[in-house]
């Protein structure tokens, strides 16, 4: 082979060898695993300062039911010949029990019947109750003054009363005596029957409760006194479902302790307050007659404040806290409300969207 052609072939083979070796080196470098981070060096994670609403709550145990019972006594004379069943609800104009085999209908009002009404010109709050109920039932007793004490028993009232008595199965006398109607302050549910058939009517007849289920809480005065009627709360049912509710009433403080009125340790009775909570929708607890529940009460709120995760805070040696920027700079912060895993922060240079380091 000529010398020039041999030199060219040798150079070509050398070039191929260099390319092959270079490619192998590149391939090795490409497939070489990345160097591991130095041992003990934490992986840095970041988050941003953001705006949020914060709320803290506490839970109180409560009893779901129809509330406290109160006893209804009969008036007038006669023998009890009919009684309601547990669960029966008193309805306007309808009888709840019977005396001497005559129905005793229910009226709603604040003043019970305390005298016989029938003489024209009689005035009083008991007359106002009769007129209001007759009007509600669709009869026309005439207009009455705004002042209950000035309500007058007139021939128009007597006429409306007579018509209602006839329709209700009562003797249409146009008069109304003590015990002929039962005046209650509103619809109630029969919780327990106390009398027996044949008992005199002027005794304890039955115990009643509200018609809607409520939750009763027994709370320390300091905690209960901060609650106002209509304060929103959350009731946690036994199945874990949460339903909206509101505070319906805060009762007078009562001592809670042992039978002697103390706590059993020689100190003063623990002063408690009964708090009544009503579900916003009675249907949410319609399947429960009685149950132990939890009530979540919001104790503190903050709206649209700057927050970071608690783990983003760094305790400073000189006191207080700071947050760390990704570059290592520390910025002091003032902390406010803590809520679960978040904390309210403020300070110079602390703004929404600022990136800060969190625990790794």
Out of 3.40.50.2300, 1.10.3720.10, 3.40.80.10, 2.40.30.170, which CATH number does the structure's domain 58-66+213-298 have?
2.40.30.170
pLDDT tens figures, 318-345: 999 999 999 999 999 999 999 989 999 9
Kindly tell me if the per-residue pLDDT of 42 is higher than 70. Answer: no
Q: Is the separation of the CB atoms in 331 and 70 below 8 Å? A: no
Q: What percent of the chain has pLDDT above 70?
A: 82
- Angle subtended by helix axes 125-136 and 155-167, to nearest 10: 50
The pLDDT mean for the chain works out to: 86
Please choose, from the candidates 44, 57, 55, 48, the residue with its C-alpha nearest in 3D space to the C-alpha of residue 307: 48
The DSSP code sequence of 330-352 is EEEEEEEEEETTEEEEE-TT--T
Over residues 303-328, the mean pLDDT reads: 95
Predicted model pTM: 0.65
Question: Residue 205, SS3?
Answer: strand
Beta bridge partners of 358: 45
Task: Name the token pair of 89.
Answer: 């609800």
Q: Is the separation of the CB atoms in 346 and 51 below 8 Å? A: no
Whole-number pLDDT of residue 128: 98
* Fold matches, 45-55+300-358 and 58-66+213-298: no
Whole-number pLDDT of residue 219: 93
pLDDT tens figures, 253-265: 555 544 333 444 4
Q: Which CATH architecture has domain 45-55+300-358?
A: Beta Barrel (2.40)
Kindly tell me if the per-residue pLDDT of 36 is higher than 50. Answer: no
Q: Is the separation of the CB atoms in 134 and 109 below 8 Å? A: no
Kindly tell me if the per-residue pLDDT of 10 is higher than 80. Answer: no
Q: 102 or 42, which is more confident?
A: 102
Whole-number pLDDT of residue 323: 96
Q: 174 or 40, which is more confident?
A: 174
pLDDT tens figures, 87-114: 999 999 999 999 999 999 999 999 999 9
Fold that domain 70-209 belongs to in CATH: Muramoyl-pentapeptide Carboxypeptidase; domain 1 (1.10.101)
CA dihedral 224, 225, 226, 232 (to 10 degrees): 50
Q: Is the separation of the CB atoms in 193 and 86 below 8 Å? A: yes
> What span, in angstroms and rounded, lies between the C-alpha atoms of 96 and 179?
12
Q: Is the separation of the CB atoms in 45 and 311 below 8 Å? A: no
Q: Is the separation of the CB atoms in 338 and 97 below 8 Å? A: no
Kindly tell me if the per-residue pLDDT of 35 is higher than 50. Answer: no
**For the chain, what are the domain ranges?**
45-55+300-358, 58-66+213-298, 70-209
Kindly tell me if the per-residue pLDDT of 119 is higher than 50. Answer: yes
């Amino acid at each position: 082979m000529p010398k020039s052609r041999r030199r060219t072939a040798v150079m070509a083979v050398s070039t191929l060898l260099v390319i092959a070796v270079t490619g192998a080196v590149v391939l090795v470098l490409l497939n070489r695993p990345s160097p591991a981070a130095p041992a003990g060096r934490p992986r840095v994670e970041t988050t941003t300062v953001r705006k949020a609403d914060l709320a803290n709550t506490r839970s109180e145990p409560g009893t779901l039911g129809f509330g406290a019972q109160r006893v209804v006594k009969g008036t007038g004379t006669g023998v009890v010949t009919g009684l309601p069943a547990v669960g029966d609800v008193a309805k306007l104009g309808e009888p709840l029990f019977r005396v001497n085999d005559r129905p005793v209908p229910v009226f709603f009002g604040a003043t019970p019947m305390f005298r016989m009404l029938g003489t024209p010109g009689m005035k009083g709050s008991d007359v106002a109750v009769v007129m209001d109920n007759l009007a509600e039932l669709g009869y026309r007793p005439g207009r009455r003054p705004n002042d209950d004490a000035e309500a007058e028993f007139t021939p128009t009232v007597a006429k409306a009363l007579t018509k209602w008595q006839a329709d209700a199965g009562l003797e249409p006398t146009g008069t109304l005596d003590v015990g002929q109607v039962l005046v209650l302050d509103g619809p109630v549910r029969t919780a327990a029957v106390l009398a027996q058939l044949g008992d005199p009517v002027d005794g304890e007849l039955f115990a009643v409760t509200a018609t809607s289920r409520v939750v009763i809480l027994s709370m320390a005065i300091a905690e209960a006194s901060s609650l106002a009627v209509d304060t929103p709360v959350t009731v946690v049912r036994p199945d874990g479902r949460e339903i909206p509710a509101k505070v319906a009433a805060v009762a007078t403080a009562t001592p809670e302790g042992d039978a002697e009125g103390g706590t059993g340790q020689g100190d003063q009775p623990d002063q408690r307050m009964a708090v009544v909570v009503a579900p916003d929708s009675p249907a949410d607890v319609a399947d429960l007659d009685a149950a132990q529940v939890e009530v979540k009460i919001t104790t503190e709120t903050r709206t649209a404040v700057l927050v970071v995760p608690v783990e983003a805070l760094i305790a400073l040696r000189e006191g207080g806290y700071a947050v760390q920027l990704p570059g290592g700079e520390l910025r002091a912060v003032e902390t406010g409300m803590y809520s679960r895993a978040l904390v309210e922060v403020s300070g110079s240079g602390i703004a929404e969207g600022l990136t800060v380091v969190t625990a790794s």
